[in-house]
């Protein structure tokens, strides 16, 4: 039996990077298409007894700060990153934390602020200031920048990706500074530009132009991870991202449009053989025993058979298949203004595999013979960050104490990429962590109209991140 071909209905194929955010922040298994009413119903068992309807959410400082941040449009076409980082700088100043704002061409901006501790190597609290675009605000239930509160939710573009995480980081730091506890480790707030569009003026720029900052990176905490839950009070698996795919863009050029159309068609038929790299194995070792479905649990019990037996691999759900294979996503053939045609192919490669080995599988010589090509320099292959790192163990220990019935472990996203891809190849332990215990009824809207976050889960997540930062730094 031949190896199963790549499924065209995977989330990354359907929505590319936007849909990948679903994998980044939430479960792809449970309720991915649940309605707003259904999400409301499921929150009632947890929140009804706590009287969430009587809670004055708008008066809570962490909610107010997030609302004011969300109201600043930071989309590429209509927004202002400069206004947003100045807003954050002013907020840090309230706690006596001096921030540096760096303005770059095209309205791009970065920010950094350092609170010094005994160890100059810093805990880096990283967030990106830009958000996904809003092609048509009229289809939103609430204005994308209104930060309206309705029911248990706060609505707005970027409220989840990733302004909520960014505010949680800042509030946690403000609370720690206010406690006046001596710091064993330094803490750096790093807010960067253009993550949604390649990070050219963000992390790529920081690495090139500010080696003095990079030198102080001790551990890098950014967006990522996933929470899979049956209900808000019954979390099944809480994963912190330790590794991600190597993201590469290969562009092919030809004077003959049909030649590129043929290449595009060939890429849709290529067979992908699964493999178990170290990062993939580490994820499945933690994740596999906790599947509810006995059939899936049985398939995952023998990790070697998953990659050696085509029938076992074909029986896996598509989202688990995707964690075991390289993937290539050809875009539409474009006519170039100066003549000729181009085809962009986006490659997502398993962690720990070299670009050369992956190209031999995805873009064999017979397929691209005679075509001119340019390959965007990748960030570098890596197996990811260690699950034995003391900081990773500290995060997991706090999660286990707060959520004793949840399985806790590493997370390997299907298609998402974050700015951790730049720091891991440098040897900096880097972890993607979202502190919010929320259902995928919220995460399904990331990058789409009506993005929202559940406020009880958000407030709980801010408190969780506060505890984590205090434990790591003091």
405-419, pLDDT tens digit by residue? Answer: 999 999 999 878 899
- Decide if pLDDT at 52 tops 50: yes
331 and 240 in a single domain? The answer is no
Q: Which of 133-137, 256-260, 435-439 has the lowest mean pLDDT?
A: 435-439
In a domain, 1, yes or no: no
Question: Among 196, 316, 222, 230, which Cα is nearest to 27's?
Answer: 230
What confidence score (pLDDT) does residue 414 get?
85
Interval 150-162 mean pLDDT: 94
> Beta strand pairing status for 226-231 and 149-150?
unpaired
For residue range 218-274, list pLDDT tens digits in order.
999 999 999 988 777 789 899 999 999 999 999 999 999 999 999 999 998 888 889
- The average confidence (pLDDT) of the chain is 88
Would you report the helix, strand and coil content of the chain in percent, each value rounded to 5? 40, 20, 35
- Decide if pLDDT at 385 tops 50: yes
218 and 74 in a single domain? The answer is yes
Q: What is the 3-state secondary structure (H, E, C) of 369-436?
A: CCCEEEECCCCCCCCCCCCCCHHHHHHHHHHHHHCCCCEEEEECCCCCCCCHHHHHHHCCCEEECCCC
Range of the domain at 253: 246-375
C-beta of residue 161 within 8 angstroms of C-beta of residue 131: yes
In a domain, 388, yes or no: yes
Token pair listed for 42: 């499921």
In a domain, 165, yes or no: yes
62 and 157 in a single domain? The answer is yes
What confidence score (pLDDT) does residue 27 get?
38
- Decide if pLDDT at 167 tops 80: yes
- For residue 261, the domain's CATH number is 3.30.70
C-beta of residue 372 within 8 angstroms of C-beta of residue 255: no
Percent of the chain with pLDDT over 70: 89
Give the count of domains, the chain: 2
In a domain, 277, yes or no: yes
269 and 292 in a single domain? The answer is yes
- For residue 72, the domain's CATH number is 3.40.630.10
Split at pLDDT 50, 70, 90, the class of 135 is very high
In a domain, 32, yes or no: yes
- Decide if pLDDT at 34 tops 80: no
Give the whole-angstrom CA distance, residue 392 versus residue 3.
Answer: 36
Split at pLDDT 50, 70, 90, the class of 374 is very high
230 and 114 in a single domain? The answer is yes
What confidence score (pLDDT) does residue 184 get?
98
200 and 260 in a single domain? The answer is no
164 and 301 in a single domain? The answer is no
Q: Which of 161-165, 245-249, 387-391, 398-402 has the lowest mean pLDDT?
A: 245-249
For residue range 172-199, list pLDDT tens digits in order.
999 999 999 999 999 999 999 999 998 9
401 and 317 in a single domain? The answer is no
In a domain, 94, yes or no: yes
Interval 78-98 mean pLDDT: 97
227 and 302 in a single domain? The answer is no
- Decide if pLDDT at 28 tops 80: no
Domain boundary at 375, 406, 439, which? 375
In a domain, 134, yes or no: yes
Give the whole-angstrom CA distance, residue 175 versus residue 173.
Answer: 5
Interval 64-88 mean pLDDT: 97
Split at pLDDT 50, 70, 90, the class of 50 is low
170 and 270 in a single domain? The answer is no
In a domain, 177, yes or no: yes
Domain boundary at 323, 346, 375, which? 375
C-beta of residue 448 within 8 angstroms of C-beta of residue 22: no
| Alpha-carbon distances of 436 from 113, 169, 460, rounded to whole Å | 24, 12, 7
78 and 217 in a single domain? The answer is yes
Q: For the chain, what is the radius of gyration of the CA atoms?
A: 22
What confidence score (pLDDT) does residue 443 get?
83
204 and 93 in a single domain? The answer is yes
Domain boundary at 325, 352, 375, which? 375
- Decide if pLDDT at 48 tops 60: no
């Amino acid at each position: 039996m031949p190896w199963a071909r790549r499924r065209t209905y995977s989330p990354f194929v359907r929505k590319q990077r936007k849909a990948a955010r679903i994998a980044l922040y939430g479960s792809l298994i449970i309720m991915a298409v649940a309605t707003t009413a259904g999400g409301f119903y499921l929150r009632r068992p947890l929140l009804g007894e706590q009287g969430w309807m009587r809670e004055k959410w708008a008066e809570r400082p962490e909610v107010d700060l997030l609302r004011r941040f969300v109201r600043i449009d930071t989309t590429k076409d209509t927004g202002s990153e400069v206004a947003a980082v100045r807003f954050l700088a002013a907020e840090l100043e309230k706690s006596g934390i001096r921030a540096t704002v760096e303005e770059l061409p095209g309205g791009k901006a970065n920010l950094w602020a350092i609170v010094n501790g005994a160890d100059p190597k810093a805990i880096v609290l990283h967030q990106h200031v830009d958000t996904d675009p809003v092609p048509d605000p009229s289809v939103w239930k609430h204005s994308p920048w209104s930060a309206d509160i309705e029911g248990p939710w706060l609505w707005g573009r970027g409220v989840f990706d990733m302004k909520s995480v960014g505010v949680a980081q800042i509030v946690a730091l403000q609370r720690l500074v206010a406690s006046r506890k001596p710091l064993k480790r330094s803490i750096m707030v790093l807010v960067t530009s253009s993550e949604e569009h390649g990070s050219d003026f963000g992390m790529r720029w920081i690495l090139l132009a500010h080696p003095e900052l990079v030198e102080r990176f001790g551990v890098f905490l950014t967006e990522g991870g996933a929470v899979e839950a049956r209900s808000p009070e019954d979390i099944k698996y809480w994963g912190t991202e330790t590794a991600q795919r190597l993201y590469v863009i290969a562009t092919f050029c030809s004077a003959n449009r049909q030649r590129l159309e043929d290449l595009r068609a060939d890429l849709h038929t290529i067979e992908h053989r699964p493999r178990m790299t170290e990062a993939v194995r580490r994820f499945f070792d933690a994740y596999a025993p906790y599947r509810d479905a006995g059939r899936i649990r049985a398939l995952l019990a023998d990790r070697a058979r998953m990659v050696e037996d085509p029938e076992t691999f074909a029986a896996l759900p598509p989202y688990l298949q995707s964690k075991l294979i390289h993937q290539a996503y050809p875009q539409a053939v474009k006519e170039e203004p100066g003549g000729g045609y181009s085809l962009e192919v986006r490659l997502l490669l398993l962690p720990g595999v070299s670009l050369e080995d992956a190209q031999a599988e995805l873009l064999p010589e017979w397929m691209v013979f005679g075509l001119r090509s340019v390959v965007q320099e990748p960030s570098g292959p890596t197996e990811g960050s260690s699950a034995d790192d003391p900081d990773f163990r500290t995060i997991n220990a706090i999660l286990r104490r707060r959520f004793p019935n949840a399985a806790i472990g590493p997370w390997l996203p299907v298609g998402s990429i974050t700015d951790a891809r730049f720091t891991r190849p440098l040897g900096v332990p880097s972890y993607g962590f979202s502190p919010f215990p929320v259902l995928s009824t919220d995460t399904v809207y990331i990058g789409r109209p009506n993005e929202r976050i559940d406020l009880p889960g958000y407030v709980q997540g801010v408190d969780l991140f506060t505890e984590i930062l205090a434990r790591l730094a003091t």
